[in-house]
Structure 1
Amino acid sequence: MSVGAFALHGRYVKYYYRERIDILRVRCRRCGVTHALMPAFSLPGTSGGTEKVEEYLIKREQGDGRKAASEALAGLGVGARYPKQLDRMLATAVNRAKALFPDAADDRLSGLEWIGAATGEKGRPLWALNRYALNHQYNCICFCRASIITFSSTTASGASSHNRGSPGR
């Protein structure tokens, strides 16, 4: 099966909180690399949902402590360390974005404030920063498992067509 520049390559299962969901992998006919088609409600590299995690991060940005901000996550089967992990993942994503896009926003800003200044989007910060990266020919950088990849016009070489940040590369 194929659609446009993509052909079905495989599938895998990931957790969405306590539920397991199927993720499709497609191969791009232009660059030869495989990509996961992640549903918008599920965050890559985590078992969390985009909406609840963004709510948590916005509450943290507004000054709530981890415990108060993560109340909505508590009943969803996440571990006690999950909120701290989210804080660290956000810091990593923003640091990567600042390195890739040094002129996007004031470097003195941090976290969601920097994302808002760079993207112009306040309500959906993770989506906005990933979309911003994609629009600038980079892989998503918020809460993603793979290291940063610049999309190029050349094809993948070697034995593996998987993203260059994957094992076997």
Structure 2
Amino acid sequence: MKKLALSTLVLLSIVAAQAPQAQPPRPPLVACEAGKNVPCVVLATNPADIAGVWKQYQSNPAFAPQGGMGYIRYNPDGSFVLGATPEGTRTPTAPFPSGTFRFEGSRMILEVKGVPPNMPECARAVHEVRVLRVGNQPVALSFTPIEDTCKPRLSDLGQAVIFIGR
């Protein structure tokens, strides 16, 4: 009986120690259809899917603009820049972070430069990104964290990120 209990305990320990298995992404609530100018959702899989300037909340005390709202520019080359104004996202400017992003399937991997030294958990994140559109026109981004422990970013991206322009 002790041997069975010990074997069960070892087996449970092995199962608990394994990394969680990645779940497949949920399908869009309303898939986009060519030629239809209606609200729909696309799961982003490449930088071009999210390229443009977007307005978002920015609550990180290291760089939060007045009013707690700012902008992020995702470029087709896989770079991004945060700023207090749309123009401020053209080139990286301290204290705002910048960095790179890439997609592995439906997972966006974010690598951040300019992370405050006391916030190393904000240097990398993995999210799924849904693009809410009307026809072909982007309207907002919705982020689902897969691997992210940066509390300010999780708070900011817990709200829709609104499309401003290209």
TM-score (norm 2): 0.25
Write 1 or 2 for the structure with the bigger share of helix: 1
Query: Rg: which structure is higher?
Result: 2
Structure with the larger RCO, 1 or 2 (CA within 8 Å, 6+ apart): 2
